Amino acid sequence: MQLLRFVYSRLTEDLLLLALLLGFALLAVFTSIEWQQLPGLVDWHTIAILAGLMVLSRGLEDSGALVRVGHWLLGHMHTERQLALAIVLFAALLSAVITNDVALFIVVPLTLSLSRLASLPVGRLIIFQALAVNAGSAVSPIGNPQNLYLWQRSGDSFFTFMGQMLPIAAWILVALLLLTALAFTGRRVDIHIHAGSHPVRRELLRVSLMCFPLFLLLVEWGLISIAVAGVLALYMLFWRRVLQGVDWLILLIFVLMFINLGLLARLPFMPPLVDTLLALPGAEITGAVALSQVISNVPATIFLAEFSDHWYALAWGANVGGFGLVIGSLANLIALRLGRQPGLWLPFHGWSVVMLLASLLGVFMLRTIL
């Protein structure tokens, strides 16, 4: 009974999970796939790598080091503009290493805690943090789920993928920093922070930092099972609470995404619809941007990958598609939900649409040059 109450509570709280379950029930009726074929629709390598990254990221978060660095950095900024630029850059760099969603769980609460020490434009800072993690994660194969998935589909090395994403990621980040400088004033802000009040669990920090490159090397060599099993065993033995702090339901959400989108691709009217979408100027890039505004960039990527193997065009489009409407990226929804600031939706779209237009300009300029 307690388990049923827990499941019911999570389903009613997590509307995305509930929508995916309802979508699966409908698609199961209208498609003829056998039940034993469903696991074949899931990219289990991506799911396994995501699980390992979630554990390592949680280890870094629980160590307290990132909060200490964030407080130190923000404590040395003396104007709104400097503070905003520091937050944006910190969030962007963090998202390239520990994924965009996890970065938000660090920087948004950090900003809320700072707002209790000084008068800050909290709502605008949270909006720009959402934009920052979408921008920063674009360059890295592990920065966001769509990059992780396409990296695995491409079969390219970590640095090859990063090299292909670097031009558009750099353009987006520069555009965001310029927009940040325009959006915030030079009003002086005094924040008094004692970094020592935030203890760091040094052994957990050292192990988590050492495991990150080792994990990525094993994934690069195709030893995904060994990498994930090793991470899970390590934290199970020495830091079980890290595993308890991971939101494992995220993995179920991605499994359901793979299954639902695989079933959707089998519907008879979908191939001609996708052909029309990919026939637009810009092909996969435009298609990924447009579809992201409707179903978010991660499911848009998974879906379009069934019809095209132009992985980097899809990656460019999906990352740009994270801007614009709030549904474009799950990170947008997470930021606004964590911030709990009234009246953010309209100003969010104002800034996010500007970033979408600037990013699209960059895409077509870079594709012409490169």
pLDDT for the residue 39: 85
Q: What is the pLDDT of residue 281?
A: 78
Residue 296 to residue 26: CA distance in whole angstroms: 20
**Is 323:353 a contact under the CB 8 Å cutoff?**
yes
Asked if residue 344 lies in contact with residue 332, where contact means CB atoms within 8 angstroms, the answer is no
The Cα 59–Cα 224 span in angstroms is: 19
Strand partners, 79: 188
Query: 370: which residues sit within 8 A by CB, 6+ positions away?
Result: 167
How many angstroms separate the CA atoms of 93 and 264, rounded?
35
The pLDDT value recorded for residue 354 is 94
Q: Do the beta carbons of residue 129 and residue 136 sit within 8 Å? A: no
Identify the pLDDT of residue 14.
63
Q: Can you give the three-state secondary structure of 229-281, one letter per residue?
A: HHHHHHHHHHCHHHHHCCCCHHHHHHHHHHHHHHHHHCCCCHHHHHHHHHCCC
CA end-to-end span of the chain: 59
The CA-based angle 250-351-19, given to 5 degrees, is 30
How many CB atoms within 10 Å of residue 283? 16
Whole-number Å distance between alpha carbons of 368 and 370: 6
Which helix or strand (DSSP H or E) is residue 339 part of?
A: helix 330-339
Residue 238: name the closest of 206, 270, 265 by CA: 206
Distances (CA, A) of 265 to 20, 31, 262, 305, 306: 15, 10, 5, 10, 7
Render each residue's pLDDT in the chain as its tens digit; 370 residues: 555 555 555 554 566 678 778 888 888 777 777 778 888 878 788 788 878 877 887 887 788 777 777 677 666 777 888 888 988 998 999 888 878 877 887 788 777 767 766 677 888 899 999 999 999 999 999 888 889 889 988 888 889 999 999 999 999 999 999 999 999 988 887 666 554 456 788 889 898 888 888 887 888 788 888 989 999 999 999 988 889 888 788 788 778 877 887 787 777 777 777 778 777 777 888 888 988 887 788 888 888 888 888 899 999 999 999 999 887 887 887 788 767 777 788 899 999 999 999 999 999 888 888 6
pLDDT, residue 323, reads 92
Q: What is the pLDDT of residue 12?
A: 47
The pLDDT, as a whole number, for residue 10 is: 54
**What angle, rounded to 10 degrees, do the helices at 330-339 and 100-115 form?**
20
